[in-house]
Structure 1
Amino acid sequence: MGKNKKVEQNKLIVVEFKVSMHCNACERTVVKAISKCKGVEKFITDMNQHTVVVTGRIDPKKVLKKLKKNTGKKVEILSNQDEESNSESDRLVIIPPFPFENDCCIETEDLMMFSDENPNACSIM
């Protein structure tokens, strides 16, 4: 049970909160509350849209609770995404075939051109 909790904490999560911010002071209190949360890597506040996008290894419910407590404002979760799970499932990695696959069949003349067995040989490229 403890291992699953650690795995969940290591995921990078992007959460969008709706917080009513009317002035710069409201925005500062929200920023101060979010910056003190453990696991927050970055956040973006948008005062016109009344939203805050938080990215990090966080529990969205804990951040929601701290925002409500520290700001005294009504806070809602708009969207919640696991960034690592989305990026891994959407990403398709194509590995090209080895470009020198048929190099084992190089003619011996080409190899002998650079050989030290015949140092007096003239080789013009």
Structure 2
Amino acid sequence: MREPYGVSRVALTEAAQELLRRLTEMHGPLMFHQSGGCCDGSAPMCYPRGEFRTGASDVLLASLVVAGVAERIDFWMAGQQFERWRHTHLTVDVVPGRGSGFSVEAPEGVRFLIRSRLLSEEERRLLDG
């Protein structure tokens, strides 16, 4: 999925960027996947790049730039979830608490969380264009 200049479906809070810098130092290049499934499926899961295999129906929403991290962090979403959320802008944040044991931040006592808002008409036009 292409991202027009200055418009993205996904953003990161400062807290998320800080955590991603630490996690990258510990685990190497990272990726996100948002499944929309049960349990913690509504939370974005963060994995070392390549440890989660994306499928043909997964959608690449963004390749995120984090200051101090050499490689972009891809954010993938299951295709069916994307169809339900395609009209939203997602912001990855960090909150106290323990999420899924599969996501690399779990041992840190925090978890990634999605905050969302509706895309503006202009954003929708540019992103779906």
Q: TM-score, normalised by structure 2?
A: 0.29
Rg comparison, structure with higher value: 1
The structure with the greater share of residues assigned to strand is 2
Q: TM-score, normalised by structure 1?
A: 0.30
